[in-house]
Amino acid sequence: MLDRIRVVLVNTSHPGNIGGAARAMKNMGLSRLVLVQPEEFPSGEANARASGATDILEAAQVVETLEEALVGCSLVLGTSARDRRIPWPLLDPRECAQHSLEHVELGGEVALVFGREYAGLTNEELQRCQFHVHIPSDPEFSSLNLATAVQVLSYEVRMAWLAQQGRPTKMAKLETTAMLDSVPVTSDDLELYYGHLEQTLIDIGFLDPEKPRHLMSRLRRLYGRSGISKLEMNILRGILTETQKAARGESHKRRDD
């Protein structure tokens, strides 16, 4: 699906930016790169900046004109760092990604077009695009590095694609997995725990049964917020048991004794 979204770089001067763009694309799962009259390509510098994305450079299509680069595309989006005199339908990168994916889902091909490092896209080139995309940078310093601009749009395309596919945007971290694996505590276990906690607090002189001052309800509220697992409850029960022993003056017994 993402292979129907191509990145078109027009007349790029620095081969390092071509490599950087290839890397940004590959990181985000995009693969089709089209180069319109690059000043220097193929190039060692492009390969170096691409890091492990040299396959994208090797498969890149090099063409003479923007028209050739856009063959087969039914949606063309041109990026620009500046406001143009001619008003044109404008999208931000998120809207651009959304539009692109909707278009691809209908069976279309999409081009994201990027301009020259020094001069951007010409007005004629921009007028070949149905929409203009502007990354909302600081107006005082609005122009991003070319490869960085490719990164921003590719990232938004990936986020929209992940959402569309119903895939997670977060890696399952170890703690999260451990928490999900653990069995949640039942309310009867919790009740036993509260009984144990209350007795312990009385034993150590923290809770006066004559004047409880809502202590237990406040503690219930606190524990209720924390989503305790069975394993965590066992730890807390263990702490209470040891606390009671210590209060009775029994010698402390280490877990690994």
In whole angstroms, the minimum distance from the beta carbon of 159 to ligand SAH comes to: 17
Number of residues that bind ligand SAH (CB under 6 A): 20
We find the least distance from the C-beta atom of residue 133 to ligand SAH, in angstroms, to be 6
Is the Cβ of residue 2 or residue 21 nearer to ligand SAH in the bound state? 21
Q: Is 71 exposed, middle or buried (0-12, 13-18, 19+ CB in 10 A)?
A: exposed
**What is the C-alpha to C-alpha distance for residues 152 and 14, in angstroms, rounded to an integer?**
19
- Candidate list 57, 120, 158, 240; residue touching ligand SAH; CB under 6 A: 120
**Looking at beta carbons only, is 125 or 240 nearer to ligand SAH?**
125
Residue 58, Ramachandran bin (φ over 0: left; ψ between -120 and 50: alpha; else beta): alpha
Find the binder of ligand SAH among 84, 94, 128, 134 (CB under 6 A).
Answer: 134
The least CB distance from residue 69 to ligand SAH, in Å, is: 14
d(CA 83, CA 195): 68
CB of 116 to ligand SAH, least distance (A): 6
Residue list 139-158, contact with ligand SAH (CB under 6 A): 142-144, 146, 149
3-state secondary structure of 85: coil
Name the β-bridge partners of 78: 113, 132
Q: Which one, of 200, 126, 188, 114, lies nearest residue 151 by Cα? A: 114
- Report the interface residues with ligand SAH, using CB under 6 A: 79-82, 114-115, 117-121, 133-135, 137, 142-144, 146, 149
